Chain A
């Protein structure tokens, strides 16, 4: 059947395992970076010891904070390299979110308590820090770091990895650093970002002398932008008032493109040349906020295949064709209507038999390809399998591929299109491939906010500007809805989706609030997700086009964005008084003023862009063998 060469799968490890007898001398730049990096690892190690002694010997939270600050400074010197060379350890042990985590490797379900520096920060900046708990977390860090450090000391990295580290570092500062992702509970985000940028700057400077003379301007811009960025961060270190819009537009976004140009101008290979595997980020895209920033091929799980227009066109017809459902009335477009950014305007989508609903709210399909897992409960790995859940679900399409294939075969147009697209008659795999190709084409990253961040000569309304800065700052939205997807796809590598426990009630207007009983990710059937802290946990969906996708939340209980902002402002479910110890939002009030709440809504409304992707087919293919089907409605009835 699939007579494919399996060599891509086989033997890919041999390279890793080859014994390395003697390494060639590193380039002078790598040698220099390495010297500084080893020094930085030592300094961080020393600061861990100092911090440990401070916690052990002194019960004074003020002294703890001072010592913790020095620990963070030491980490930020090495973070851009360390987190690139060893992302797993960076997340698992040093600087992951202060939440329980699941062991990704062992066969059984193992849940770890929060650990690392963010867990420590949550304690020392919380009320009445528990010295014993703090000591335990610090001891763990101190015990684990020598091994992590030993690996790094032996790591043989290349110029490619150094330049990537800077570039991903810029993305990390933009999407996580200045939004306070890793500085829970204290006002250190901007100052720490400045330290990190300084470290990147000094390494980038090593490379500028090697630029051919014709790239003089590029070298100058890189120098100026680093200088400007550092000055801006150091002079405006207050978290709430920091102007992130300006910082990104003026410095971070331009630098992101310039480091890439530096990389290419030096003739250093990119990651794509070193591996057979597709990468999540399109390295050669200069912008962090464009439709080409992320690689749709990577997420759709079909390698680097570029689909022909005929495949997308066929997928579009299938998407709008109610023949895909058992009763020939329901199409994908029934619940995913283009004019509503591919949602249906209902709290929960109507079930096929119009009795009751399908259980959850229909999410937008625009930019939906950029995800590692699908459905609100993250049960499906890929778009292809997501579609199958709909096809087989009794409340949705209630059919099988075989029924669908039989129906498509009644139409010569469909038969011809499958032949032209795939050289085959209609079949399950290609139906799925065509639908995926169409959904994958629903990408739009050209909202006014994107254009502005990319430096286009346009203006944004003052409310939108203020809203962006609140979103990325005081309102803490962007610590879960990460740029540039405004979803839980974690930057800067974009290979993992987060879910969050926010505590949406069944009915927000009830006198006695009750949590919506849907357990979300906990019940998705994946043994490793059946962990207590994942009860009521749902995928963090994108906010792009959110003005068009109401009502909101997995159960659609909020009609307007203002209601949603109000919900978060009050501290989510726990803030409203629900007993929800595993909530991943801060429980306390965000203290947003009425004006600030309005600005947030204005900003979210400016995330709208559906240009060129909401067209509906003029006509569905005729079924010569079943003329009675020819009157079927484009997009189905509802």
Chain B
């Protein structure tokens, strides 16, 4: 303690001599000749479409309560899009609610909301339009009825938008017994399957919790569920995709170990009849059938898959098909201490091999996939090529850091962590992968300086062979505390619809709720933005980035922004970029610590 004080006193004396200014002098030099920087509006427009907890959904009569109008559930995740063939300016949107909650009117468990939008020809914005459904409900937003159709759902995470716009919702969060379900389900009595399309299962009675964790087809136009896909297995589903043939379904399981599943329909478009396979890269053929008429095999799908030697992965999230190439992409989100996971080790010991890329990666680190020091902090996006039946890494997360805390000074400008949502958008005739992050943590470089988690949305040009993290294009970031997810292109590729899930309630206004927002104008993006180059001796230069609503400086500096009355409105320390999105349009003065000034016009 004494030493502490002495050190400080010595430094006080020293520091008097070195006096520097902490504060910014708001006055402008007399010879001030304004260099003016204009921050034009972004070519991309933002619009909030659907706010959880605020927008009201039309419900059906449920649990003895009459049909009515109630606030939508929160925790938006997947977004499904269903084009309207008879009207190209309109399409249906269905949004998953991952939050599971008892609700007297919407129904218990998770849920979904469906609505229809029309593109306004003058403004290009999307407008939610009124509909009247067959069951008599009239309004804008509709609760998808599960409680009165196929039974309640668990967490509705991702799902499937089929090639013709059919929609499935995926129930995640493995529920192991009825006790685990009683906090969000009022009725845990045994459940009798009512599904004549699956004759070997129809009429059988299962425990209520066993009716959770399926893929569930819904009708977005009538806002009701159609069926639980009892023939695709009960898994901790995160996502899936249907190939261009409208017969082959690829499914990902968000578990450690997670299994990669395929269903092939006998007839295109009829997903009630066909065969179910699991992927096993060491076997020949690589797809092994699991009898999907056998209810008990479907109920314990993961165990049966491991028993036949299925390849094990580390948390498979969304699956997406690049419609232009027909290849399948899967987000493998990762889990920190993979080699320590007993379920992972047990599966491999039981003869279910780790995916090839895990073996290769572990070897590169001088270890094995089942060794306690085998870690998987960032995950990756995998590619499955139906022609070769091989799963390879398309883009690896990272870059790798070996220390938990990575200082901002050493932080790379781009870092991909824990990819989750996956989709494609076509811009200028080219296919781009949309990658949504959902971070498992803030350590090992997932965030600089272990800052609170902020998830990002990336684009990746599919023309790039062997892409790396540096090829990613940053699009958007979530509000503090939130996961960014669900991103999907509108049928006309003009807009991207994106969900923000569970933001911190300290975010301003509607941004404290889960919400669906839209970025429109992708069709107007013609050129890429290039950073101007500056010499080291250049004076203070400010470069606007209209897309991102941020200022870039030619040097790392302290900077303050003043309004025209000389009132300091923002201070940035020790940075090269400044987020000015909170400033109301107008004229400002930007000043660096040396006193150089620039006039800024925010439009």
User: Which A residues are closer than 8 A to B by beta carbons?
Assistant: 1-25, 27-29, 31-32, 35-36, 39-40, 43, 73, 77, 86, 88-89, 105-108, 147-148, 150-151, 154-156, 158-160, 195, 198-199, 202-203, 205-206, 209-210, 266-269, 273-274, 276-278, 280, 298, 301-305, 372, 381-382, 384-385, 388, 392, 394, 400-402, 428-429, 495, 522-525, 527, 530
B276 within 8 A of partner (CB): no
Knowing A13-B456, A402-B68, say if A31 contacts B509 (CB, 8 Å). Answer: no
In the complex formed, the residue of B with least CB distance to A18 is B577
Nearest-CB distance from B267 to chain A (Å)?
37
CB neighbours of B412 from chain A (8 A): 19
Contact of B517 among A9, A20, A210 (CB under 8 A): A9
Interface residue? B284 (CB, 8 A): no
State whether A4 and B510 are in contact (beta carbons under 8 Å apart), knowing that A15-B578, A151-B407, A151-B450 are contacts in the complex. yes
Is B69 a contact of A400 with CB atoms below 8 Å? yes
Is B571 at the interface (CB under 8 A from chain A)? Answer: yes
A12, A106, A273: the one within 8 Å of B477 (CB): A12
Interface membership of B189, Cβ < 8 A: no
**Quick one: which of B71, B505, B574 contacts A158, CB cutoff 8 A?**
B574
Shortest beta-carbon distance, B134 to chain A, in Å?
Answer: 21
Known contacts A4-B48, A148-B405; A273/B571 CB under 8 A: yes
User: Can you name 11 A-B pairs with beta carbons within 8 Å?
Assistant: A1-B49, A2-B510, A21-B556, A73-B1, A151-B405, A273-B571, A274-B570, A276-B579, A301-B506, A388-B53, A429-B54
The contact string, 1 if C-beta is below 8 Å from chain A, for chain B 269-287, is 0000000000000000000
Please state if B477 and A13 are interface contacts (CB–CB under 8 Å). Answer: yes
B294 at the interface (CB under 8 A from A): no
Known interface pairs A28-B14, A105-B439, A105-B441. Does A302 touch B68 (Cβ–Cβ under 8 Å)?
no
B577 in complex: contacting residue of A14, A147, A382, A388, CB < 8 Å: A14
Task: With A154-B405, A267-B24 given, name 5 new contacts (CB 8 A).
Answer: A9-B507, A10-B581, A17-B448, A36-B11, A151-B404
The answer to whether the Cβ of B194 comes within 8 Å of any Cβ in the partner chain is: no
A147 to B403 alpha-carbon distance, docked (Å): 7
Which residues of A have CB within 8 Å of B155?
527
Q: Which residues of chain A have C-beta atoms less than 8 A from B512's C-beta?
A: 301, 381-382
Contact (A205, B582) CB under 8 Å given A2-B51, A13-B454, A401-B69: no
CB of B366 within 8 Å of the partner chain: no
- Is B4 a contact partner of A18 (Cβ separation < 8 A)? no
Chain A residues, CB < 8 A from B69: 400-402
Smallest Cβ-Cβ distance to A11: which chain B residue: B548
Among B24, B71, B412, which residue has the most Cβ atoms of chain A within 10 A?
Answer: B71
Which residues of chain B are near A151, meaning CB under 8 Å?
Answer: 404-405, 407, 449-450
Q: Work out how many contacts link A and B, with CB atoms closer than 8 A.
A: 291
The B119-154 residues at the A interface (CB cut-off 8 A) are 125, 127-128
- Does B206 count as interface, using CB distance less than 8 angstroms? no
Contact of A12 (CB < 8 Å), options: B101, B413, B450, B454: B454
Residues from chain B with Cβ under 8 Å of A43 in the complex: 4
Q: Is B18 an interface residue (CB 8 A)?
A: yes
Q: Which of B3-27 contact A (CB under 8 A)?
A: 3-5, 7-9, 11-12, 14-16, 18-24
Assuming the A-B contacts A277-B480, A382-B512, are A2 and B4 also in contact, with contact meaning beta carbons closer than 8 angstroms in the complex?
no
Cα-based distance from A385 to B52 in the complex (angstroms): 11
Q: Knowing A28-B19, A151-B405, say if A381 contacts B574 (CB, 8 Å).
A: no
Q: Which residues of A contact B480 (CB under 8 A)?
A: 12, 277
Best-buried of B105, B443, B474, B506 by chain A (most CB within 10 Å): B506
Asked if A8 and B101 make an inter-chain contact with CB atoms under 8 angstroms apart, the answer reads no
CA distance A206 to B14 in the complex (A): 11
User: Do B47 and A301 touch (CB < 8 A)?
Assistant: no
Contact A199 B474 (CB under 8 A): no
Q: Given the complex, which residues of A lie within 8 Å of B593, measured CB to CB? A: 24
CA distance A205 to B11 in the complex (A): 11
Beta-carbon contact of A18 and B576 below 8 Å: yes
Asked whether B22 lies within 8 Å of A9 as measured between CB atoms, the reply is: no
User: Least Cβ distance of B350 to chain A in Å?
Assistant: 22
Establish whether residues A276 and B508, one from each chain, have CB atoms under 8 Å apart when the complex forms.
yes
Asked if B398 is at the interface of the complex by the 8 Å CB criterion, the answer is no
Residues of A within 8 A of B125 (CB): 3
* Residue contact A276 to B582, C-beta cutoff 8 Å: yes
A23 CB contacts on chain B under 8 angstroms: 409, 556, 574
B479 at the interface (CB under 8 A from A): yes
Question: Could you tell me the distance between the alpha carbons of A471 and B53 in the complex, rounded to whole angstroms?
Answer: 39
The answer to whether B449 touches A8, judged by C-beta atoms less than 8 angstroms apart, is no
CB distance from A111 to the nearest CB of B (A): 14
Contacts of B70 in A (CB 8 A): 392, 400
Determine if A86 and B4 form an interchain contact, defined as CB atoms under 8 angstroms apart: no
Q: Which of B9, B22, B507 contacts A268 (CB 8 A)?
A: B22
Chain B residue with minimal CB distance to A305? B509
Q: Is B558 an interface residue (CB 8 A)?
A: yes
- Min CB gap B136→A, angstroms: 15
Find out whether the CB atom of B556 lies under 8 angstroms from the CB atom of A3.
Answer: no
**Complex: chain A residue closest to B448, CB-CB:** A16
Query: How far is A4 from B515 in the complex, measured between Cα atoms in Å?
Result: 13
What is the bound-complex CA distance between A8 and B408, given in angstroms? Answer: 23
Query: When A and B form their complex, which 9 residue pairs have the shortest distance between CB atoms, in order from nearest?
Result: A267-B23, A154-B407, A303-B508, A6-B46, A28-B15, A151-B405, A7-B581, A276-B582, A32-B11
Interface string of B546-577 (1 = CB under 8 A from A): 00111000011110100000001111111111
B556–A24 contact, CB under 8 A?
yes
Which residue of B is nearest A159, CB measured? B22
Quick check: A150 and B15 within 8 Å, CB to CB? no
Query: Is there contact, CB below 8 Å, between A9 and B474?
Result: no
B218 touches A (CB below 8 Å):
no
Contact: B570 with A273, CB < 8 Å?
yes
B156 in the interface (beta carbon within 8 A): no
- If the complex has contacts A273-B571, A525-B184, are A106 and B102 also in contact, measured as CB distance less than 8 A? no
